Structure 1
Amino acid sequence: MKKNIFNKYLLVACIGSAIAFSGCRKETIADKVGGQAMDNGKSFVGFPDGLEQQHFFDPFTNIKTVDVFSIKRDAKSAADLQKDQTVVLKAIPDAIDKYNENNDTEYELLPTSLYTISSTKVTAGTSGNLNAKFAPGDFQNYFTIKLNGSKFDLTKKYALAYIISDAAGLTVHAESKDTLYTFFAIKNKYDGEYHSTGIFHHPVNGDRAIDRDKILTTAGATAVSTEIGDIGGSMTLTVNEATNEVTVSGNVSATQPLLPVAGKKSIYDPATKSFILNYRYPAGTGDRVIEETIKHK
């Protein structure tokens, strides 16, 4: 009986300690990622949500408040949590180019004309850098911006890149020592992964089947871009949402525009999430005519 009473009071004491030191390091997400849990000899700082953070939006024209990322101070003790510390995040826009090269992407630096910083704890420093200020008692701060949707180019994808350059005496988590990337893009409801089936009609060589996966990428509020048939290049599919008719636009070359097929329409079927397309382009031996159905996976 005495043992049970002792265990009961021990449990209450542990719960009380956890509440009292909720800002101190116990078993945080960043600890689990970095494998540094319960290293009570150090206080850490890092990005608890990882080094690549995506922000995709439906088309919008107003001002949207976005928590871009968080930075967390993982204090070893209540005393360390009461320190006043400012961590510097260095902006490294050149890292975006390197990311594009390594990942075959086309991100651009998010222009400052598209957003304003609204956070009071993570604020603008010099040369595009950020200052993450931890006041006594602070253990997690957010970099928050107001993003202007009316200025967003829907055909582009944007990014910001930072690295912790001054940890203010804290130890950077192992998983937070590299570059932090945050990505921004508008995705309309047609954006996504599809599969295309159909026929490419060649006036000399005859018909051939189209059977391939395609990626449709936002090109406007109701428009997406993808490859032309099975020949590559790029075409834009614009949906008239009042009629579900689709306008196919683009060029195979400067003298070979994509044109409609007489007597046939291109439409979008919202029930099956499919683009049912009929289009052609001129060539020396006659028009190449393409019939394809591009269905969402």
Structure 2
Amino acid sequence: MKRYIKSMKALVLGLVVLATACVPEGKDMIDGIGSNFVRLPAANEELSLLGVDLVAGDKTTEFLEIIRDVNSSSELNNAVSVSLKVDDALITAYNKAHATTFEALPTSLYKLSEVDVKMAAGDFSKNVAITFDPTKLDAKKSYALGISVASAGNYKIRNGLGSALFQIIAKNKWHGKYKALGVFTHPTAGPRDIDRLKDVVTLTPNSVSTELGDLGGAGYTMTLTVNADNSVTVTPTGATPNINQSYSKNYYDPATKSFYLHYSYNVAAPRIVKEVLTLK
């Protein structure tokens, strides 16, 4: 069973205990000066993406990592209990800030391996797993799951790193990272090459979302719907005002795992994009 979890910032886990000497709150781990902390690495991102392949049946995957930063080597030999809580307020805040419509993942659709997490002596990190059946997710809805540290015994919660928000998805077979090569032709500025990596993200069992041309940073996105004959229907999303796909057939080639696309937007002065997206 494949799993997918994305975080935009990598965190070095090895030798975490030694690294705590560098953080402001814990000054001297040898002498035990300063406080002990717990943190959630996923809290570094506003939203992390987690999903499993769209196959029937319960799937279990690692979900949330908890790390503790200790002020002495002897403290690592003590156990600590960390209590987690589902925090729907994180979803409300994210929706308000980004004009999104995420819904809380219904509790009936998933199970966490534990919410009262015991970090035993010697443990500097602990992973919580989530189990759910991806086929039971409503394809018309966008689900999220917010988790916060409710308490951690005598440990403090590191500032800004006590809550994490995840988008929960069921991946279809087109989901992944693609290499995009092609040309973007502007009516006055002329052509420019497209050579970039694109995230192609599941929307429904037969559709995905990705950036239009090289304009993802400006909010231009599109939906690619793969039809029964592998032809692809391109529709505008985000800031994209319209799509003209009459230039040539848009299609997906299962043999090369590539999308072949030729389209434009802006009727009065078309911006024409011809690109091939190939799964990495």
SS at structure 1 position matched to 2:231: strand
Q: How does 1:145-224 map to 2 (within 5 A)?
A: 145-153=130-138, 158-168=143-153, 170-172=154-156, 174=158, 177-187=161-171, 188-192=173-177, 194=180, 196-197=182-183, 216-224=200-208
- Contact 2:38 2:157 (8 Å CA) reproduced: yes
1:248 aligns with 2:233: yes
For 2:148 and 2:242, how far apart are their aligned partners in 1?
A: 46
Q: How does 1:1-297 map to 2 (within 5 A)?
A: 28-29=15-16, 32=19, 35=23, 36=26, 37-38=29-30, 40=32, 44-47=36-39, 49-52=41-44, 54-72=49-67, 77=74, 81=78, 86-99=81-94, 107-117=102-112, 119=113, 122-123=114-115, 131-133=116-118, 139=123, 141-153=126-138, 158-168=143-153, 170-172=154-156, 174=158, 177-187=161-171, 188-192=173-177, 194=180, 196-197=182-183, 216-226=200-210, 235-239=222-226, 245-248=230-233, 250=235, 261=246, 264-269=248-253, 274-277=258-261, 292-296=274-278
For 1:167 and 1:155, how far apart are their aligned partners in 2?
A: 37
- Contact 1:62 1:150 (8 Å CA) reproduced: yes
Q: Deviation of residue 115 (structure 1)?
A: 0.4
Q: Provide closer, same or farther for how the CA distance between residues 115 and 209 of structure 1 changes in structure 2, counting only shifts above 3 A.
A: same
How many matched pairs? 245
- Give the aligned residue type for 1:81: N
Could you say which structure has the higher helix fraction? Answer: 1
Q: Deviation of residue 224 (structure 1)?
A: 1.8
Q: Provide closer, same or farther for how the CA distance between residues 44 and 175 of structure 1 changes in structure 2, counting only shifts above 3 A.
A: same
For 1:93 and 1:209, how far apart are their aligned partners in 2?
A: 46
For 1:251 and 1:182, how far apart are their aligned partners in 2?
A: 25
Q: Provide closer, same or farther for how the CA distance between residues 190 and 92 of structure 1 changes in structure 2, counting only shifts above 3 A.
A: closer
Q: Deviation of residue 150 (structure 1)?
A: 1.1
Q: Deviation of residue 116 (structure 1)?
A: 1.9
SS at structure 2 position matched to 1:98: helix
Q: Deviation of residue 248 (structure 1)?
A: 0.8
For 1:277 and 1:190, how far apart are their aligned partners in 2?
A: 17
Q: Provide closer, same or farther for how the CA distance between residues 210 and 156 of structure 1 changes in structure 2, counting only shifts above 3 A.
A: farther
For 1:100 and 1:192, how far apart are their aligned partners in 2?
A: 25
- Contact 1:223 1:237 (8 Å CA) reproduced: yes
- Contact 1:248 1:279 (8 Å CA) reproduced: no
Extract unaligned runs of 5+ from structure 2. Answer: 1-13
Q: Provide closer, same or farther for how the CA distance between residues 64 and 179 of structure 1 changes in structure 2, counting only shifts above 3 A.
A: same
SS at structure 2 position matched to 1:180: strand
Q: Deviation of residue 62 (structure 1)?
A: 1.9
- Contact 2:149 2:157 (8 Å CA) reproduced: no
Identity %: 26
SS at structure 1 position matched to 2:90: helix
- Give the aligned residue type for 2:183: T
Q: Provide TM-score, normalisation by structure 2.
A: 0.59
For 1:50 and 1:192, how far apart are their aligned partners in 2?
A: 20
For 1:39 and 1:148, how far apart are their aligned partners in 2?
A: 48
Q: Provide TM-score, normalisation by structure 1.
A: 0.56
SS at structure 1 position matched to 2:55: coil
Higher alpha-carbon Rg: 1
Which shifted more, 33-42 or 227-236?
227-236
Q: Deviation of residue 102 (structure 1)?
A: 5.5
**What is the CA RMSD across the aligned residues, in angstroms?**
5.0
